[in-house]
Amino acid sequence: SGAVDEQMLKFESAKSLKVVCFTARARIPHGHVMGQTYMFCAPPGDAEASKAVAALVHAMYETESVAVVRYVRVRNAQPYLGILHPKIKPDQEFFYFHTLPFAEDLRQYVFRSNQEAKEKLCAAERDKLDAVQALVASMDLMKAGPEGTEALKPKTVFNPCLQHLYQATRHRAVHPSAPLVTLDKNIATFARAWEDKGVLRKMLDDARPAIRKVVELFPLKALGGGREPRRHWFAADGVDVSLDS
């Protein structure tokens, strides 16, 4: 019967994480890392498991290696081929799990080298290339912060809307009848980065000469004629055919 055939063809798997082999991190092309990233760590409160994971993490980190694993998230789920990448933080050792592609997932495309066209473009458009490079360099955030430090580090920049929501929710839970508090000064710094004394305002002022040079070399021109009339897919021999004909 159909139910029996379906049961026979159904893939069955057990929840598991099995190491297939260890390999050098350099042998895993960055373009082969797919999908979402998960963090694998020892169960909270399990001292023996924490020691074992820490030992393995440090050993793999020192040898610059990763573990190729077969991962099944839940029973009868699709198995994934992936790597465990060691990560060491001051208060914890753990692994990052990245999915790897199967052979059917890989696409190998070969393109002709554009080196010759690039060299001709560089020779003919050197002033434009220099102007764009100067613009990019003038808007570099690595030294735009106080005393030449990096500005707006991703680890220290938070979404002002979400942070204000969390702040208001916490305040309302503790003080149900009190009015909502104003936006925290530290959070407001990120929302006002473009204002007169903001980090991005100074960077923009410093980049104005480069911006003017780019505007000069890349003038915007209005295109005449407007949009071409729309043609139906069933038009024949260049003659449009209406539905009423």
HEC secondary structure over the chain: CHHHHHHHHCCCCCCEEEEEEEEEHHHCCHHHCEEEEEEECCCCCCHHHHHHHHHHHHHHHHCCEEEEEEEECCCCCCCEEEEEEEEEECCEEEEEEEECCCHHHCCCCCCCCCHHHHHHHHHHCHHHHHHHHHHHHHCCHHHCCHHHCCCCCCCCCCCHHHHHHHHHHHHHHHCCCCCCCCCCHHHHHHHCCCCCCCHHHHHHHHHHHHHHHHHHHCCCCCCCCCCCCCCCCCCECCECCCCCC
State yes or no: pLDDT of 30 exceeds 90.
no
Confidence of residue 237 (pLDDT cuts 50, 70, 90): low
Question: CA-based Rg of the chain, rounded to a whole angstrom?
Answer: 29
Strands 65-72 and 16-24: antiparallel
- Sorting pLDDT into bands at 50, 70 and 90, what band is 233? low
Angle at 160 between CA 156 and CA 166, to 5 degrees: 100
pLDDT value at residue 52: 93
pLDDT at 18 over 90: yes
pLDDT band at 158 (very low <50, low <70, confident <90, very high): confident
Among positive and negative, which fits the CA dihedral 140, 146, 149, 153? negative
| pLDDT mean across residues, the chain | 83
Residue 85: pLDDT band with limits 50, 70, 90: very high
Which tens digits make up the pLDDT trace of 45-74?
Answer: 899 999 999 999 999 999 999 999 999 988
Residue 24's contacts (CB-CB under 8 Å, 6 or more residues apart) are 64, 65, 66
Return the exposure string of 202-222: e unless at least 16 CB atoms fall within 10 Å of the residue's CB, then b: ebeeebeebeebeeeeeeeee
Tell me the pLDDT band of 112, cut-offs 50, 70 and 90. Answer: confident
pLDDT of residue 234: 53
Distances (CA, A) of 138 to 59, 144, 157, 189, 237: 42, 9, 21, 22, 54
CB-based contacts of 218-223 (< 8 A; 24+ apart in sequence): 218/128
Q: Which of 82, 103, 70, 91 is nearest to 38 (CA)?
A: 82
What average pLDDT does range 143-153 have in this prediction?
Answer: 79
What is the reported pLDDT for 134?
Answer: 92
- pLDDT tens digits along 163-211: 889 999 999 999 999 998 888 887 777 777 666 667 778 888 888 999 9
29 or 9, which is more confident: 29
Check pLDDT > 50 for residue 241: no
Residue 245 has pLDDT above 60, yes or no: no
CA–CA dist 137, 139 (Å, integer):
5
